[in-house]
Amino acid sequence: MTITLVLSEEEKRPVVPNTSFCAERPASTPRRRLLELLVFTLCGLAVALLYSCDRMVYVPTDVEHLHEIEGWVSGYPDTWKLDGRPVVQFDVSYRLQDGVRHQEVFSYREGYEGAGLRIAKKVMLTVEVGAEHSMVREVATLDGKVLFDERLYWKVVNWHNRHSDFMIGFGVFLGLVGACLMLWSAWGDRHVLLQR
């Protein structure tokens, strides 16, 4: 028994893929390309500017204004690596005559965990008290184990600034690449861009 399929005229037509969305997409014009490259250039320069403002400045200790003050841990730890060693960043608080002050300090993770630090744990702080600001220069446990001092602070500042300098250079590189591409595109499309 033979079965014969009869197709209608519409079914005999070849299937053509729908590409209407491609036709509706606006073509990139010279001015649009320049605008996109300008945004790319400005983003690169914005990255460089952001990290240049984020650099830290190392200020030597003024030993004449150092005071030992009892403080407490007031922030949860955040761990990252400094030259391959885990470092914990946390907040300490202390009280001066004009109120409570807070500052971020650092410690190697083994020292932090060995001291059993946690929120509200008391620590001994060496604070440089100035006329306009104060700064924690050393953090130690109540039994005298030093967790944060001038050497570690100097290492943190150097590491932070190296990272910032890398990102500044990267942002400037992106900005230069974008500016060069923008000039090259403008020169290639100069006849179209100059038309009124």
Q: To the nearest 10°, the Cα dihedral for 185, 188, 192, 196?
A: 80
- Residue 137, pLDDT above cutoff 90: yes
Quick check: is 153 in a domain? no
Quick check: is 167 in a domain? no
Tokens of 29: 């014009």
Per-residue pLDDT tens digits for 97-129: 888 999 999 999 999 999 999 999 999 999 999
Q: How many C-alpha atoms does 9 have within 13 Å on its Cβ side?
A: 0
Per-residue pLDDT tens digits for 142-164: 999 999 999 999 999 999 999 99
Least confident span in 21-35, 66-80, 89-103, 167-181: 21-35
pLDDT, position 7? 55
Quick check: is 189 in a domain? no
What is the number of domains present in the chain?
Answer: 1
Quick check: is 92 in a domain? yes
- d(C-alpha 69, C-alpha 60), whole Å: 20
- d(C-alpha 125, C-alpha 140), whole Å: 6
- d(C-alpha 49, C-alpha 11), whole Å: 63
Least confident span in 30-34, 112-116, 170-174: 30-34
Quick check: is 58 in a domain? no
Per-residue pLDDT tens digits for 45-92: 999 999 999 898 888 888 889 999 999 999 899 998 887 889 999 999
Q: What is the CATH number of the domain that holds 117?
A: 2.40.50.140
Tokens of 89: 């960043």
pLDDT, position 21? 47
Q: Look at residues 90, 66, 80 and name the one whose alpha carbon lies nearest to residue 147.
A: 90
pLDDT, position 188? 78
Q: How many C-alpha atoms does 57 have within 13 Å on its Cβ side?
A: 3
pLDDT, position 57? 87
Quick check: is 138 in a domain? yes
Per-residue pLDDT tens digits for 55-67: 988 888 888 899 9
What DSSP letter does each residue of 29-57 carry, written as one string? PHHHHHHHHHHHHHHHHHHHHHHHHT---
Quick check: is 7 in a domain? no
Instruction: Please tell me which residue, 60 or 165, carries the higher pLDDT value.
Output: 165
Instruction: Please tell me which residue, 125 or 183, carries the higher pLDDT value.
Output: 125
Quick check: is 185 in a domain? no
Print the domain residue range for 108. 63-147
